[in-house]
Amino acid sequence: MMVADILLIALGFLALIIGLIGSVLPLPGPPLSLLGLFLIHWSSKAEFDGGLLWTLAILTLVVTILDYLVPMWGVKRFGGSKAGMWGSTIGLLVGLFGGPFGIFIGAFVGGLVGELMVGKDTGTATRAAIGSFVGFLFGVLLKVVLCVVMIWYAIAALVS
């Protein structure tokens, strides 16, 4: 195996793993995983069908767009406001310092605080925070599934 292949495969798997982690953290998870898949594809040890690469690229684009739209839909669907969305985003970032579950708790609490700050009653604010949280979880689920699929294809291509 040539040094270039080793480097491409190592960087590819690094991008795939960071992409998976980025599916939960505020990083561009699926685009990083897609980059990892392309790096592995450019080595001489694995080759992916063009149709597969295009499909994964389109899915990455769709999931990335949905990742922004679904939380907004969740907030609106459950009666929230932009303040709740911003609160949820800020809570997520603050929650990064709270360990593995900090981002989930932070997203919920931030959404709740955002809604309370604009004068919503506790019940409405709680529903909106739940909507924001559900939207966030759905986005995370979509990104994790897509990144895991890309990791699976990478491993399968290198093992075969």
Q: What is the reported pLDDT for 131?
A: 82
Using only C-alpha atoms, the chain has a radius of gyration, in whole angstroms, of 19
Q: Stretch 140-156: mean pLDDT, rounded?
A: 96
Can you spell out the DSSP letters for 38-107? Answer: HHHHTSSS----HHHHHHHHHHHHHHHHHHHHHHHHHHHHTT--HHHHHHHHHHHHHHGGG-TTHHHHHH
pTM for this one? 0.83
Please state, in angstroms and rounded to a whole number, the distance separating the CA atoms of residues 98 and 100.
7
Q: What is the reported pLDDT for 103?
A: 81
* Residue range 1-33, pLDDT digits in tens: 698 999 999 999 999 999 999 998 878 999 999
pLDDT band at 111 (very low <50, low <70, confident <90, very high): confident
Domain containing 48 equals 3-159
Q: What is the reported pLDDT for 146?
A: 97
Please state, in angstroms and rounded to a whole number, the distance separating the CA atoms of residues 63 and 36.
17
Nearest CA-CA partner of 107 in 131, 76, 82, 78: 131
Q: Over the range 89-123, which residues count as b (16 or more CB within 10 Å of their CB) and which as e?
A: bbbbebbeeeeeebbbbbbbbbbbbbbbeeebeee
pLDDT band at 106 (very low <50, low <70, confident <90, very high): confident
* Residue range 39-90, pLDDT digits in tens: 999 999 998 999 999 999 999 999 998 887 877 777 777 877 888 878 888 8
Cβ 19 vs Cβ 150: under 8 Å: yes
60 vs 138, more confident = 60
Query: For the chain, what is the domain count?
Result: 1
Q: Stretch 30-38: mean pLDDT, rounded?
A: 97
pLDDT band at 143 (very low <50, low <70, confident <90, very high): very high
Q: What is the reported pLDDT for 141?
A: 92
Asked whether residue 35 carries a pLDDT value surpassing 90, the answer given is yes
